[in-house]
Structure 1
């Protein structure tokens, strides 16, 4: 991460300011990047220390660094430690930026015939319960497992997401651990019977597998599904900040990371940027097919007709809002989406249009209760966006809320992850009524 995305962002920022990024210099403990002004003077020096999410967040909590890049959210223990050390400062959860998006993907050799895996199968493979490709519909051959080192944020993120709540989980002792994503990808490419977990941006020549559900839904880690967090293993690239006031140039850099120029660099670096995109209803056929397939029971034909009528003429915005596990709080990617959507509203991007915040739920419990819950979530997200867009002219954009409960699932409801994907608030855009 520090060797790829961050230097490219520093380079883009420097060029936009009429400065230059000098060649990196190896120094004890890391790499030195200097931003030079046109007259040759040094405007700023960034000392980048490669490490894991653990070491970066620990250095931040100990006051040893100004920023820490993490590929997982801070743990409850880390948040408590931050509060104890800085009780009068903004909480750690409020001192974080999302500078790009990635996704964890299962990868196999191009020679492997497997077409998709379910999250349940993936969990069984990496816990050692499935050890032969035959049990996944493949050849009669043992499965070779590959993960990054256990102290890497990506490995922690994977195990936390896949095995949340399973206190008795033990990973397979057969897992081969790697010091880098490139080494993992190379090992998988060379072994037709290997499977690994890495990021979409670092899969190299390995082939990523879509995630399928037992009910027939499947999801690939494409840019749209990652932006909307519809892909269940979306992994935001998080930049945590120290509680102290940072130098002005650093604050300018942080602001610049939210510009269109920075978003282009994020995409060129192989990550998914957070640009707000729109998907017309004509390109949402699979979602509508899912809604029809899930109908029956407590989702009636009338519910589907209302859904289709409401979708007609609307576009789905990529900003989608989901909630932290077991919480009513938005997750990190969704909090960043609130800020970006609010900024776009303030800039007049949606003048003369209507933004409808639409709540959806999973299928657990009575449909009427789920409908009420999804409506309340939509109302709470709209309120958060309105508060963030304090400089917006309220007469230039129309706002509305709606909810459809469990009427349009994005994933199977037979797993915690499927239910989490289905609990969401979408934003639909159409022309405001005259």
Structure 2
């Protein structure tokens, strides 16, 4: 009997999670009576039971067993219950918009009701058959609390504006949630940007990432040091931005660096941070493009004269250094059918139309004309030197003139040839557009660029290899069924000929190492 149970456990799909009851005893008996599994009932998703047993957590197909005991769910009255937790703005604005659109797309009506100040319920109903098909339970928490909920199995999905931190990843793996570093566990559903903000009365209009690092490390304390008034800098920060997976840690403060006690005011709510900056002409904070507020955004600058400002097109293409993908993390267990259908919807082009109507940045693909790139060409000309010649610039111009740049940027994880999370999402998005025939009869050029470190000839070869790697990833996403003659796909490399930012800082070099996609009619 024990051997039979182990065989069954080994063949079961990896789990489930909707309606979660207080742990109660159940006995799952195979219909021929040969196998019996006893334990504490955890959840039921309409198809599979999830039970905690002496052998661990097992997931059992309900069609093959009978359920006995006080913990057994009412199969006749079942509907999927999907719990979602995470970033407050995302759970209050983005998720409700996506859930509503998903419901309407499937012919369901939606009834939203508050459960508490931080929780709400969205019930989806098939009005034609007067049948409740599912309920989404949304909890306004934070990025950190969302991951904690996932580890403790108090949620089924986490909406977060940062990657999972190493400690959270370890706890999740230990708890049986799965490897959250696996790309299958995280979907990019929207984009946002981290933006330095000051009072509207502050005369400072630009800061470098180096300036921000010095301020938050307590090494720069007076506005006069960066062209402002003779006054102390009062720094503010969202507490969650101190987590290791945040863009603030990666791009500004550094991993493992501690903020000196008393030098920065930490906030748990974004409206608290904005209010503090509004009321203090000498305050500085890190805001979000999605949140806004009556504060002044500050551009990012480099020593060589480049400047970057948060704009939707630059967020989409990752030309803005503090771009923040909005992730939807899920556990490595089986979710209800309704949840799986919702997850497929949120990464579709139709969902991005919905995202565009919110305060977040969508991943919909825009086309930027060659003429829109004037500033970039001016920068290229002004920074040309011995290794970047007029002939090199003419090569770029000759190849790209008459084409339009897509707002699909491709960049790689630091020190590797692995595409970052936003770029992996862009690969599938571009593949979907190609399969849909959006670019039939046109030529797509994957143009690789590099930073200016090292010899120009080596950089040119390296940039072409990166372009070829992205092209290969897109072709793999298309599959063998795609008719190759519908569109021309080619890769080329221009090396360091078109810098986006200064090479004197790491964030500038990371921006310059990129692959762009340009589209041009073949007629």
Q: Partner residue of 2:494?
A: 404
Q: Which residue, 411, 414, 439 being the options, matches 1:350?
A: 439
Q: Work out whether 1:145 is the aligned partner of 2:235.
A: yes
Other structure's SS at 2:97 match: helix
Other structure's SS at 1:357 match: strand
Q: Work out whether 1:297 is the aligned partner of 2:386.
A: yes
Cα distance change, pair 172–414 in 1 and its aligned pair in 2 (3 A): farther
Q: Work out whether 1:243 is the aligned partner of 2:311.
A: no
Q: Partner residue of 1:129?
A: 219
Q: Partner residue of 1:414?
A: 504
Other structure's SS at 1:197 match: strand
Report the Cα offset of residue 403 of structure 1: 0.4
After TM superposition, list the pairs within 5 Å mapping 1:58-73 onto structure 2.
58-73=148-163
C-alpha deviations, 1:244-288, integer Å up to 9, x for none? 232222222222223444223212221110011111111110110
Q: Work out whether 1:319 is the aligned partner of 2:408.
A: yes
Q: Partner residue of 2:144?
A: 54
Other structure's SS at 2:190 match: strand
Q: Distance in 2 between matches of 1:342 and 1:251?
A: 21
Deviates more, 1:94-103 or 1:257-266: 257-266
Q: Which residue, 181, 188, 192 being the options, matches 2:281?
A: 192
Structure 2 length-normalised TM? 0.78
* Stretches of structure 1 lacking an aligned partner (at least 5 in a row): none
Q: Which residue, 87, 93, 101 being the options, matches 1:12?
A: 101
Q: Distance in 2 between matches of 1:338 and 1:327?
A: 17
Q: Work out whether 1:431 is the aligned partner of 2:521.
A: yes
8 Å CA contact 2:353, 2:364 repeated in 1: no
8 Å CA contact 2:143, 2:240 repeated in 1: no
Deviates more, 1:133-142 or 1:168-177: 168-177
Q: Which residue, 352, 360, 371 being the options, matches 1:263?
A: 352
After TM superposition, list the pairs within 5 Å mapping 1:20-419 onto structure 2.
20-26=109-115, 30-39=119-128, 40-79=130-169, 92-150=182-240, 156-164=246-254, 167-168=256-257, 170-171=259-260, 173-390=262-479, 391-419=481-509
Cα distance change, pair 9–411 in 1 and its aligned pair in 2 (3 A): same
- Larger C-alpha radius of gyration, 1 or 2? 2
Cα distance change, pair 35–237 in 1 and its aligned pair in 2 (3 A): same
Cα distance change, pair 305–322 in 1 and its aligned pair in 2 (3 A): same
Q: Distance in 2 between matches of 1:135 and 1:111?
A: 18
Cα distance change, pair 22–303 in 1 and its aligned pair in 2 (3 A): same
Q: Distance in 1 between matches of 2:178 and 2:279?
A: 53
Deviates more, 1:273-282 or 1:15-24: 15-24
Deviates more, 1:362-371 or 1:394-403: 362-371
Report the Cα offset of residue 338 of structure 1: 0.4
8 Å CA contact 2:142, 2:240 repeated in 1: no
Cα distance change, pair 401–421 in 1 and its aligned pair in 2 (3 A): same
Cα distance change, pair 196–25 in 1 and its aligned pair in 2 (3 A): same
Question: What CA RMSD, in Å, does the superposition of the two structures yield over aligned residues?
Answer: 2.3
Report the Cα offset of residue 196 of structure 1: 0.6
Cα distance change, pair 154–111 in 1 and its aligned pair in 2 (3 A): farther
C-alpha deviations, 1:53-80, integer Å up to 9, x for none? 2232243345443211121112345455
Other structure's SS at 1:268 match: coil
8 Å CA contact 1:100, 1:236 repeated in 2: yes
Q: Distance in 1 between matches of 2:216 and 2:461?
A: 38
Q: Distance in 1 between matches of 2:178 and 2:227?
A: 56
Q: Distance in 1 between matches of 2:178 and 2:271?
A: 42
8 Å CA contact 1:104, 1:200 repeated in 2: yes
Structure 1 length-normalised TM? 0.93
8 Å CA contact 1:281, 1:311 repeated in 2: yes
Q: Distance in 2 between matches of 1:141 and 1:47?
A: 47
Report the Cα offset of residue 124 of structure 1: 1.2
Other structure's SS at 1:3 match: helix
